[in-house]
Amino acid sequence: MNKTKIFLFALVSMLAVSCMRDTVDQGAISAEEAMIARKFVNSIDSAVPGELIIYVDKSSVAMLEGVGAPTRVAMTDIEVVADEVGALCIEPVFNLKVNAERKRALGMDRWYAVSLPESVDLEDVARRFASLESIERVEFNMPIERPSSEAIPFDASMCASTRAEAMPFSDERIKMQWSLNNTGEAHFYPTVKAGEDINVLPAWKLTTGRPDVIVAVVDAGVCYTHPDLQANMHVNEAELNGVEGVDDDENGYVDDIYGYNFADNMGRIMWSANDSHGTHVAGIIAATSNNGIGIAGIAGGSGNGDGVRVFSSQIMSGNNTAGVKSIGKAIEYAADRGASILQCSWGFKPGDIANDALFESGSASAEYTALQYFISANNCPAMEGGLVVFAAGNEGMPLAGYPAAYNDYLAVTAFAPDGLPTYYTCYDRGCNISAPGGEYYYIGNSMREYGCILSTLANGDYGYMQGTSQACPHVSAIAALGLSYALDNGLSFTLDEFKSKLLTSVNNFDSVLTGSKEKIDTGGILNLTNYRGKMGTGKVDAYRFLMSLRGTNCIPMPVGQEVVVDFNKYMGDGELAIKVLSQYTISDETRATLGIENDCIIGDKLVITCNKPGCGTIKVSLVAGGSTVGGGQLVGGMAIEKEFALVAREGYTVGDSGVVEDAAGWL
Ligand SMILES: [Ca+2]
Ligand SMILES: [Ca+2]
Ligand SMILES: [Ca+2]
């Protein structure tokens, strides 16, 4: 402590210099004003009263560290101003108790939060701080747009799905989860289209998750006592078995058992019956599958305690909505707690931040810094870095809000059970991939919610919600399945590789974007051509993504139609042409799943009919490359064995040539 004070005394003489510099002549004022303006991260609009975040220069860090109340004898210039404006407290935004070295390298030690009486003129105070040379950035504590947490309770008597097809798990209500397996039941949506789902059933044959894959749910509190969530909560054992009121694992947070509540600044995660947003999101990812009750989570395991784990990085609570300060902390905590996927169904209003350059400019904002920290954390051996997934936004605007829009994070758009854009989804600028977000519909004047997404509610029950908030966890969960599958198979990827595999193993969206669709909320019209090429790379597909991680190309197969498969189309750009197709092997399981009966080789192509929708693999022996000389003899070809996956689904068509033509988005 004494040492700190000595440092502070030494500063006083320097202070005088910087004070003198403030007495500028009139001509220099505009330059001074411009300098101050450049330091502002955001505008005061909607700022939380009495709170300011500052980014100090490196030399100030050493002097400020350990400082609590600003009232003291010797002070930095920052403290002098803080004292003059009546600041109550200056404290570091980030938690340097854990991983301090990495955090310092990112400048996270330079962000400080200043608490002030709510009565102060915040803009004036911000300007005074910004005028100091030792302060490089000033950020208002801007709250996020609070996503709607309106849920429609599940009513078993009203919702009897009649679908006959067996779902693989015992969960009582899994048949109502159209986003997992859309069999085209009109109950879900009047214009429902079979196959418009995440194709997770065949993926579940490969993996259903792993407990060492951890997803941070940055959202309202996750109801960890929910009977369908309990088993898949990531628990801090040291705190669970520790002493109440004590930070048992010394990570800087007291009693953080199931996460930490940054909205109320306490260890206890909070929820209420009408505040289900975080619980709903968590259930989509990790509701316990195959446990006989409720729903199945996409990465919720197989009923053997083997689902991925989630914890709550709580940033919303009742009417408390976190600003960037708590959000920064919540994201940092997610990384420090071992999450490799950051699930974020929230954001700032689209348009509040105009472009990537502003979002990342200078030393950017506290939340940007925290997100960069998350991205650089290596918490899963299957992926170098952390994956950040955001909802694109529900304003129906042709741009995603920030942070979603920023190029390092995935922004997820939402489609309905008809495979078309939902009326609310943001699209176009900044959007990366699409997933089921759900949409309600009317029968006469009566609203039906079965096209929305069914998941867990904070009252311990189940209910429907819709939004890009629901689409987003579909992608997070599929990413979590991907990490599980990669770990199972000893595979590992860079973050960019993992992301690009996720973004390119998608189903084509544009082919259905013609004509129009009724805008259900207003009765207006959605012009579907406006969405062409703007919903992201396509619709996320769990099976194809896992296959892509394994290095296996998927071949689209219409159901019940003979297809001439030309493997050349699926060999990738850099590979040599196939000259001879000598043999192929289809397992009995694949034959049974896909209903394959008649199949043969003709020339260098395979002729095959899949009579049932489903997915399976095929092993092919072929000779690639080389050249044919006179008489058709082959010179220099190489015999190789290659695996392909057949994906038979409704909706694919075979062209005149007998070849699947609608392969856009596939190759
Ligand atoms: Ca703790
Ligand atoms: Ca404790
Ligand atoms: Ca369940």
Centre of ligand 3 to C-alpha 422, Å, is: 27
Confidence at 40, pLDDT banded by 50, 70, 90: confident
Ligand nearest to the CA of 245: 2
Q: So what's the pLDDT on residue 13?
A: 28
Q: So what's the pLDDT on residue 641?
A: 87
554 or 385, higher pLDDT: 385
Q: Is the pLDDT of residue 93 over 60?
A: yes
Ligand nearest to the CA of 242: 2
Q: Is the pLDDT of residue 135 over 70?
A: yes
Centre of ligand 3 to C-alpha 29, Å, is: 65
| Residue with tokens 């020339």, as numbered in its chain | 603
Centre of ligand 3 to C-alpha 343, Å, is: 20
List, in sequence order, every beta strand (DSSP E) within 281-386: 309-317, 320-321, 341-344, 383-384
Nearest to 575 by CA among 638, 634, 661: 638
Q: Read off the pLDDT of residues 55-65 as tens digits, 9 standing for 90 and up.
A: 999 988 878 87
Q: So what's the pLDDT on residue 24?
A: 43
Q: Give the span between the Cα atoms of 598 and 605, in whole angstroms.
A: 14
Helices (H), 583-645: 588-594
Confidence at 568, pLDDT banded by 50, 70, 90: confident
- The percent of residues in the chain predicted with pLDDT above 90, rounded, is 65
Residues facing residue 581 across a β-bridge: 622
Q: Give the span between the Cα atoms of 498 and 401, in whole angstroms.
A: 23
591 or 667, higher pLDDT: 591
Q: Read off the pLDDT of residues 184-206 as tens digits, 9 standing for 90 and up.
A: 899 899 999 989 999 999 999 99
Confidence at 23, pLDDT banded by 50, 70, 90: very low
Q: Is the pLDDT of residue 235 over 90?
A: yes
Centre of ligand 3 to C-alpha 606, Å, is: 41
Mean pLDDT of the chain: 87
Instruction: Read off φ and ψ for residue 567, nearest 5 degrees.
Output: -65, -20
Q: Give the span between the Cα atoms of 402 and 555, in whole angstroms.
A: 36
Q: Is the pLDDT of residue 72 over 50?
A: no
3-state secondary structure of 474: helix
Ligand nearest to the CA of 253: 1
Ligand nearest to the CA of 455: 3
Q: So what's the pLDDT on residue 201?
A: 94
Q: Is the pLDDT of residue 217 over 90?
A: yes
Ligand nearest to the CA of 337: 1
Mean pLDDT of 295-300: 98
183 or 310, higher pLDDT: 310
Q: So what's the pLDDT on residue 667?
A: 35
Do the beta carbons of residue 358 and residue 139 sit within 8 Å? Answer: no
Strands 214-220 and 341-344: parallel
Q: So what's the pLDDT on residue 41?
A: 85
Q: Give the span between the Cα atoms of 402 and 145, in whole angstroms.
A: 11
Q: Is the pLDDT of residue 161 over 90?
A: no
Q: Rounded to whole angstroms, what are the CA distances from 663 to 462, 510, 581? A: 38, 12, 22
Q: So what's the pLDDT on residue 318?
A: 86
Ligand nearest to the CA of 295: 3
Centre of ligand 3 to C-alpha 128, Å, is: 55
Centre of ligand 3 to C-alpha 454, Å, is: 12
Ligand nearest to the CA of 256: 1
Please list, in sequence order, all residues whose beta carbon lies within 8 angstroms of the beta carbon of residue 201, skipping any fewer than 6 positions away. Answer: 167, 168, 180, 181, 543
Q: So what's the pLDDT on residue 71?
A: 46
Name residues with Cβ closer than 5 Å to ligand 2, which is an ion. 239, 242, 246, 248, 255
Centre of ligand 2 to C-alpha 78, Å, is: 35
Ligand nearest to the CA of 243: 2
Most confident of 134-143, 354-363, 533-542, 654-663: 533-542
Q: Is the pLDDT of residue 570 over 80?
A: no
Centre of ligand 2 to C-alpha 325, Å, is: 24
Q: So what's the pLDDT on residue 573?
A: 54
Q: Is the pLDDT of residue 110 over 50?
A: yes
Planar angle of CA 374, 46, 330, nearest 5 degrees: 20
Confidence at 15, pLDDT banded by 50, 70, 90: very low
Ligand nearest to the CA of 462: 3
Q: Read off the pLDDT of residues 453-486 as tens digits, 9 standing for 90 and up.
A: 999 999 999 999 999 999 999 999 999 999 999 9
Centre of ligand 1 to C-alpha 97, Å, is: 11
- Give the containing element (helix H, strand E) for 524: strand 524-527
Centre of ligand 2 to C-alpha 379, Å, is: 24
Q: Is the pLDDT of residue 634 over 90?
A: no
Helices (H), 217-262: 237-240
What domains does the chain contain, in order, with CATH numbers? 2-140 (no CATH), 170-543 (3.40.50.200), 553-648 (2.60.40)
Centre of ligand 3 to C-alpha 615, Å, is: 24
Q: Rounded to whole angstroms, what are the CA distances from 57 to 103, 134, 135, 154? A: 15, 5, 6, 54
Q: How many CB atoms lie within 10 A of CB 632?
A: 7
- Helices 277-286, 468-488: inter-axial angle, 10-degree rounding: 30
Mean pLDDT of 646-659: 70
Centre of ligand 2 to C-alpha 236, Å, is: 10
Q: So what's the pLDDT on residue 658?
A: 56
- Give the pTM: 0.90
Mean pLDDT of 138-157: 85
Nearest to 128 by CA among 116, 118, 113, 138: 138
582 or 282, higher pLDDT: 282
Centre of ligand 3 to C-alpha 345, Å, is: 22
Q: Give the span between the Cα atoms of 569 and 661, in whole angstroms.
A: 11
Centre of ligand 3 to C-alpha 106, Å, is: 41
Centre of ligand 1 to C-alpha 195, Å, is: 45
Ligand nearest to the CA of 98: 1
Q: So what's the pLDDT on residue 143?
A: 84
- Give the containing element (helix H, strand E) for 102: helix 100-105
Centre of ligand 1 to C-alpha 339, Å, is: 16
Centre of ligand 2 to C-alpha 220, Å, is: 22
The verdict on whether omega for the bond into residue 436 sits within 30 degrees of 0, i.e. cis, is no
Centre of ligand 2 to C-alpha 259, Å, is: 12
Q: Give the span between the Cα atoms of 476 and 389, in whole angstroms.
A: 6
Centre of ligand 1 to C-alpha 108, Å, is: 20
Centre of ligand 3 to C-alpha 278, Å, is: 17
3-state secondary structure of 446: strand
610 or 3, higher pLDDT: 610
Q: Read off the pLDDT of residues 347-386 as tens digits, 9 standing for 90 and up.
A: 887 777 777 877 776 447 899 999 999 999 999 999 999 9
Structure-block tokens of residue 13: 């003489």
Q: Read off the pLDDT of residues 242-252 as tens digits, 9 standing for 90 and up.
A: 999 999 999 99
Ligand nearest to the CA of 231: 3
Please list, in sequence order, all residues whose beta carbon lies within 8 angstroms of the beta carbon of residue 379, skipping any fewer than 6 positions away. Answer: 214, 335, 338, 339, 340, 386
Q: So what's the pLDDT on residue 63?
A: 81
- Count how many residues are written for the chain: 667
Centre of ligand 3 to C-alpha 172, Å, is: 7
Mean pLDDT of 528-557: 95
Three-state SS string over 571-589 comes to CCCCCCCEEEEEEEEECHH
Do the beta carbons of residue 460 and residue 223 sit within 8 Å? Answer: yes
Ligand nearest to the CA of 177: 3
Do the beta carbons of residue 463 and residue 274 sit within 8 Å? Answer: no
Q: Give the span between the Cα atoms of 9 and 416, in whole angstroms.
A: 64
Centre of ligand 3 to C-alpha 288, Å, is: 4
3-state secondary structure of 343: strand
Most confident of 257-261, 324-328, 617-621: 257-261
Mean pLDDT of 527-540: 97
Centre of ligand 2 to C-alpha 247, Å, is: 5
Q: Read off the pLDDT of residues 259-285 as tens digits, 9 standing for 90 and up.
A: 999 999 999 999 998 899 999 999 999
